[in-house]
Structure 1
Amino acid sequence: MIKLVNKMGMMSESKKSGIAYTLSTLVTKGLVFLTIPVFTRIMPSAEIGKINLYNSWFSLICIFSTLSLTSGGYQLALKEFDNDKDRYESSVYSLTLLVTSFVTALYVMNPGFWEKMFGLSRAYMIMLVIGLFLTPAQDFWMARQRYDYKYKMSSFLTLISTFGAVVLSVFAVLNCKPNETGWARLFVNNLVIYSVALLLGINILKKGKCFYKKEYWAFSLSLSLPLVGHAIAKQILDVSDRIMINQYIGSSAVGIYGTLYSVSSISLIAWNAMNGAYVPYLFKNIDNIDEHNNIRRTSSTLLTLYTFIAFVMILLAPEIVRIMATQEYYEAVYIMPPIAMGVALTAVSNLYSNILIFYKKTKVIMLASGAASVVNLVLNYIFIPRFGYQAAAYTTLVAYIIMALIEAVVATRYYKNHTKLKMIYDNKLIFILCVITVLLSFISIFLYGAKIPRYLVCIVCLLATYVLYKKKLKTKD
């Protein structure tokens, strides 16, 4: 720890911010995942299914209420309005409040219709509406902190709020009736998160003192509106399986599938942390030709490290499920490889969509995710009724492959035509990594009954990751 602190003291602010953000994200998300084995043992699967259903609908509705203003285009706008970031931040947050007010009015006019459509009680719906007003403030504030490399306060606030929400949620579930555990967990968790978001929202409005400025709204909407389509399609891709499983099979199956999906997505914690630190660096240096080799090397290293992590998680799936859940969930362990690989392809999509966002080609992102979501819906409609919720894992993988492929092809073509340079990413390496990892992931299913071979492969992967890390350090030196 002393060596790490000393090294960080000599680093640039961008590197300090990247490390701090990555570590805080890993710790906070890790805390959330550590509670999975607790909740699966003290909550009925049907109650967990209710929370999964709520989170699915919240993620989808949040796209409409925020107009995707908190997406990648926000960081590009911070660069565009570098001298007036406070007013810009206040203005776009006010825009989300205005849109959310309209969404809330639609609900208030006919609450029964929406409650029946979403399959959620009034208490859940009221909590959803409150979240729509408050969560954008936290998203804006966190993105601004990362962009300005102000990592200390954001890391501290994230750690404290997450720890408080987790501890209080467990306490609440342990002290209520089994059929009330879903609501108790959700209420207490959101009480902490939304309280912090409320304070941040007030701070944003107080500092910026700007409700409307045509230039800010026009610039942000020109980037974000196509991303609304992308975000809707992406959420459909992410949550339609759970909604359709609930329709065709039931909430208990949603609880099992949703839990396994969450476990399969553990590796995504690492990627989101790495990508969150990488994007500000990319946007600030993509126009600097002298940095192109560094960007190419950094992106390749990050993706390689992430694929190793994802593959190790797939190999250890039986052990992870035994730790995280009960025997009721273990029957679904074999759907983890396709889900995990589909989620892992998010990393590839992010790399190329970052390029498209920088060059304001957000419509391409919308079309790619739209095509993937349509394929996913059609395949779910065909296969879930016939083969059960397990089929959703494979339809998700197919959809993610389609989305990543479209974005990679279009981003590469546009970058080469626009800059007259070779692609800033190593496309050949990325393709090889994807193919090898997908093949090995399916082979790993046959190793689930043999512990020693799986453990040996895990050790080899970890050693390879360490060697790659040391090689990267020598290259930097």
Structure 2
Amino acid sequence: MNNDRKALKSGIWYTVANFLTKSIGILTIPIFTDLLSEAEYGAYGNYVAYLQVLTILITLNLESTFISAKKDFEKDFDSYASTMFLFSGLFSVIWWISLNVFSGFVVSKTHINIEYINCMCVYLFFLPAVNLYQAKERYRFGYKKSVLISCLIAVGTALVSVLLVLFMSDRLAGRIWGSALPTVLIGVILLLLLFRAGHNFKIEYIKYALPICLPFIPHLLSMTVLNALDKMMITDIRGDRENALYTLAYQCGTVVTILVTSLNTAFAPWLGEKLNDHAFSEVREFAKKYVLIFMYFTVGIMLISPDIMMIMGRKASYMEAQYVMPPVMLGCVCQFVYTMYVNVEQFTKHTVGMAIASVSAAGINYVLNYLLIPKHGYIAAAYTTLISFVWLVLAHIVLVYILGYSKTYPNKFILGMLGVAAAITVGVNFLYKVPICRYIIVAIYGCIFIFAIVKYKDQIINLFRKKASKTN
């Protein structure tokens, strides 16, 4: 099997595995909303928000250097991978010591018990072993091992978390340790495999890696902060209960975020080929259908959001958070759109503007949260994040224009569709108060979807046949 076919096969398996493993986390949401109190659920949401930020700061995204290191250190790639772990391990120990030395300050600012901070540090010590090993396998097209590891961690995390929550007196501790232990245990095994394959520690590898990964840290950190800042500030200003409501609403929207990531995995390589061929008209034509289909799907999720909240929350007290869902869904549409433009920036290798846009969006979100959350509560946070996403859409459109690729996408059409989506969002908020009208519209919406599937079934079948023929 040649490398092109290996890459295609690996890409398909990674996309499927990513969707399935993330779906396991979504399916466990009703279990944990039932087992945990609102305060415990909110506290866990706050813990995850800080974990996401510290993951960027501690791991430094070193696996991102493998795309070039695989070529530059092909004969000693195993030693390069083990060196990256040793460096990240040393860095995580420094963070661990620092967080404990300043534990009083850390606990007061984060509202996280020092025991849970230490759990976080143990998890982040072994997480790079998992990430680096999987990245090494991906660049060798060894998708079977990588997919197996992802599935073991996803299933293990779900099972261990549920068991610990059921049998530990401190249910929050059970949820936190349950989310960490499978990664830690598998990380120990993969750490041994990393050092068995290559154990030469070389400073030159660190000098090689840092200039590549460090410029991406501001962008990654800003985007992580943008997604996590709301939960941090809600917990700090309004408490764990309101953060529980906000966290559940955002988790219910996770399926759309996963869809954005999965679609972009397939779209980005195709876009790169078309940009290389200067096939801008073909991209514009496809982009119109691409945006319309995604918008249709997202509006459908928006219409049935109260039902999703009822299933996931399992408690009537969570239902007030249904009004967070429309701005969350509109934010997902914005995320989908600006990701299309980010692909162009990455294609041109001009990513400084991308980092500036991300940092400024995080800044806008912080200021608006600071002004609005004390007065209007957690629902305001959904709209402040939406405003930040709208800013990112406009910023990336401008950046692509500056790079000379403004004719890649039908900008007026896309902005017009975002305007339509915003108007629908306002209307859906009112529909939530009239369930009968909402269900009638959902029924009509479903009928239109079925009609479209039947009408265009031949084109859909042909599309899958073409994909199948490419993989054979």
Q: Using structure 1 for the length normalisation, give the TM-score.
A: 0.85
| 1:303 shift after superposition | 5.1
Residue 52 of structure 2 is aligned to residue 52 of structure 1: no
Q: Which residue of 1 aligns with 2:225?
A: 236
Is contact 1:346-1:400 (8 Å) kept? yes
**Which of 103, 112, 133 is 1:111 aligned to?**
103
Q: Which residue of 2 aligns with 1:399?
A: 388
| 1:356 shift after superposition | 2.9
**Which of 193, 204, 220 is 2:183 aligned to?**
193
Is contact 1:352-1:411 (8 Å) kept? yes
Q: Which residue of 2 aligns with 1:317?
A: 305
Compared with structure 1, are the counterparts of its residues 105 and 31 closer, same or farther at alpha carbon in structure 2 (3 Å cutoff)?
Answer: same
Q: Which residue of 1 aligns with 2:469?
A: none
| 1:386 shift after superposition | 1.1
Compared with structure 1, are the counterparts of its residues 43 and 243 closer, same or farther at alpha carbon in structure 2 (3 Å cutoff)?
Answer: same
Deviates more, 1:354-363 or 1:53-62: 354-363
Query: What is the aligned-residue identity percentage?
Result: 27
The letter of the residue matching 2:110 is F
Q: Which residue of 2 aligns with 1:367?
A: 356
**Which of 57, 66, 74 is 2:59 aligned to?**
66
Q: Which residue of 2 aligns with 1:138?
A: 130
Distance 1:393 1:359 in 2: 33
Distance 1:70 1:38 in 2: 33
Compared with structure 1, are the counterparts of its residues 372 and 390 closer, same or farther at alpha carbon in structure 2 (3 Å cutoff)?
Answer: same
Q: How does 1:44-443 map to 2 (within 5 A)?
A: 44-70=37-63, 74-75=66-67, 78=70, 85-177=77-169, 180-214=170-204, 216-276=205-265, 278-279=267-268, 285=273, 288-289=276-277, 304-325=292-313, 326-414=315-403, 416=405, 423-425=407-409, 427=411, 430-443=414-427
Q: Which residue of 1 aligns with 2:430?
A: 446
Question: Which whole-Å deviations, capped at 9, do the CAs of 1:370-413 have from their partners, x for residues lacking one?
Answer: 11111111111111111111111101100011123212321343
Distance 2:346 2:87 in 1: 21
Residue 29 of structure 2 is aligned to residue 36 of structure 1: yes
Give the length in aligned residue pairs. Answer: 457
Compared with structure 1, are the counterparts of its residues 369 and 37 closer, same or farther at alpha carbon in structure 2 (3 Å cutoff)?
Answer: same
Compared with structure 1, are the counterparts of its residues 194 and 404 closer, same or farther at alpha carbon in structure 2 (3 Å cutoff)?
Answer: farther
Q: Which residue of 2 aligns with 1:21?
A: 14
Is contact 1:176-1:184 (8 Å) kept? yes
Compared with structure 1, are the counterparts of its residues 139 and 350 closer, same or farther at alpha carbon in structure 2 (3 Å cutoff)?
Answer: farther
Question: Which whole-Å deviations, capped at 9, do the CAs of 1:164-199 have from their partners, x for residues lacking one?
Answer: 22122222222233xx11110221231112222332
Compared with structure 1, are the counterparts of its residues 142 and 268 closer, same or farther at alpha carbon in structure 2 (3 Å cutoff)?
Answer: farther
| 1:318 shift after superposition | 0.9
The letter of the residue matching 1:452 is I
Q: Which residue of 1 aligns with 2:470?
A: none
Q: Using structure 2 for the length normalisation, give the TM-score.
A: 0.86
Is contact 1:368-1:407 (8 Å) kept? yes
Compared with structure 1, are the counterparts of its residues 168 and 101 closer, same or farther at alpha carbon in structure 2 (3 Å cutoff)?
Answer: closer
Is contact 1:14-1:149 (8 Å) kept? yes
Deviates more, 1:140-149 or 1:37-46: 140-149
Is contact 2:60-2:213 (8 Å) kept? yes
Distance 2:443 2:402 in 1: 41
Q: Secondary structure at the match of 1:204?
A: helix
Compared with structure 1, are the counterparts of its residues 230 and 322 closer, same or farther at alpha carbon in structure 2 (3 Å cutoff)?
Answer: same
